[in-house]
Structure 1
Amino acid sequence: MSFNNILGQERAKRILENSLTKGTVSHAYLFAGEEGIGKKLTAITFAKALNCLNPIIAGNGDSCDECLSCRNINSLNHPDLTIIKKEGGDAKANTISELKRNFGDEDEDKESRSIKIGAIRELQRRLSLKPYEGKRKIAIIDCAEDMITASFNAFLKTLEEPSGETVIILITSNLHSLLPTIVSRCQIIKFNTLSNEHIKEILIKNYHIKEGEASIISSLSRGRLGRAVAMDYRSVCKLREEALKLVTASITKDTEYIFTESKRLAGKKEALPEFLNFINDLIRDTIVINKTGRDDHIINKDIRDKLEELSVKLKAPFIINMYEAVHKTEILLKKNANPQLAIETMMMEMGGIRDDRFQ
């Protein structure tokens, strides 16, 4: 049954299951927590349970996962389900179940990752209609924090005047970025990151990953099961080794490597966010080693010796400067800056080439 496929989020499941069995389903929910911990899977699972033709009423109100409604929702092809969501960084449009995040062109904000007012207006139109096939109209808005101000204001009216046959689920990884008026009108359900041991156990039992590999992946996932499941061990190790080489080249001021590597990385724009995550983790670990010398808070435990070699060469303020350089680059890339120039600048700043802070 569907809810059994959601691992590690027992509290969130219990709240939703109780609302199904007791008939106390809210008109609006807000699923909050880091990315990759099961919020979207839970939203889809809840949608199935709400419109299932043969719900498990004697149990936890779960869906049968077999009827026509469940199958249609599994394929995101249900006429009473509307989703606004990311698809590899861009919007994916489906004439039945999905809306483009930038549906319409009436907004001045042209960032492709924002949710435009046109998408909200189309969502409102769909929700104004009676259910076509199921018991309820269901809307899921992924990354709700990406709504521009006009979208927030337009969406507020939908929350204030909900239809009795409508359930809205907002998903966010940044609860504090949402307007208080939006948050106050939703039932908040918080999702937690999982422990490394829990993720390791799931990887071994459910995905048959070797114990040693599962241990490394679980640590690198930072408590996010979705990220852990998506990781390929060999690819992850290769990417992390490349990140370590970049950090080393920066602090040794290897300008030839900096320019060559920047050009190569610029050609892999889609992989840059994950690459920068690895750099952040490596820098973080050097700070932990530098300041505490303890292993229990290190993410990259399997390469501790290499990180210690770096940490002894660097002073804490310089390590922090490296971290800030990476963070600034992440922001620039989200604003569509030239990736090669952004990476080159980051690597030079990490090595103190510009401001001579390297010692």
Structure 2
Amino acid sequence: MTAAADREGGAGWPALFILLVLAGLAFAVALAAAIGDYSISLSTVVLAVTNGLGLTGAEILPIEQSIVWDLRLSRALVAALAGAGLAICGAILQALLRNALAEPFVLGVSAGASTGAVCVIVLGIGAGGLSLSVGAFIGAFAAFALVALLSNGATSGPNHTILAGVVASQLFNALTSYIVTTSGNAQQARDVMFWLLGSFGGVRWPDFQLLIVVVLLGLAICLWMAQSLDAFTFGDEDAAALGVPVARIRLILFAVTAMMTATIVSMVGTIGFVGLVVPHAVRHVVGPLHLRLLPACAAVGALFMVLADIASRVLVAQQTIPIGVVTALVGVPFFALILYRSRPQT
């Protein structure tokens, strides 16, 4: 019996693991609020947070209070929620599609969101009344609707859904490239490229308030269907034999993952590989049961994204690297490892 299997047998280990990750997340968020062009001590960060919550009235510099509370803390918390949401979506899609390489953007949602954002940035659709986030959200759900249409709704098999997602991704990526190439100037192209690679630079408290509702609601729905997800890992026929309404559950969970991914992408752009890397790593620690796997994925995904955001700000002096570049630097080697391990044995 492996160490992972031993740990899975003990109900206390997953809870302890999640608590340890959450403790690390709290420290990472504080560190993210302290690091920047204007360095702030961790003790000052704690006082700024308690001041902002109304718990204390400590005397600190107004500029430090504003930097921590108005800028960096909201950014770190949005990063945590984005990482948690993408990791949850990855775990769900890997179970539904029974594909180790499935991740939140496999359904073309990211590509659709990119097209919607480009239409706002470059074409000016909405004449100023439509924000970039709203445009991206509309595009994301347009892509999801196309995938549902191409895959004949919830009755298609996992391979059919993946192929429909590939088609949708290629279509919307082509539309994005065409719009930028034919209609955008150099500055617009630069803005679009930076957004497509992911950035937490523009997020504030209203984004956090919306995202925490979406992620917690999505997690609650997925936990409610955790036993059905366990059955899906054995195949549709076995799940149906166990009394699981396969078509209905698949449709609901696809819609939930699309909603979460669309919301995240509309706020921070395209951030890949989080939904691929985190579920695989966590599954080796807490086991495959989704009642344990999903909360652990949320905690580890949040920690991973906050650390990636810190890295994006410190790797190059006086410059912020797009967050998607940092996650890709971790995700690509992991992706290659999965491909290597899944190769046919001779």
Structure with greater proportional helix content = 2
TM-score of Structure 1 vs Structure 2, range by shorter chain = under 0.3
TM-score (norm 2): 0.25
Instruction: Give the number of the structure whose alpha-carbon radius of gyration is greater.
Output: 1
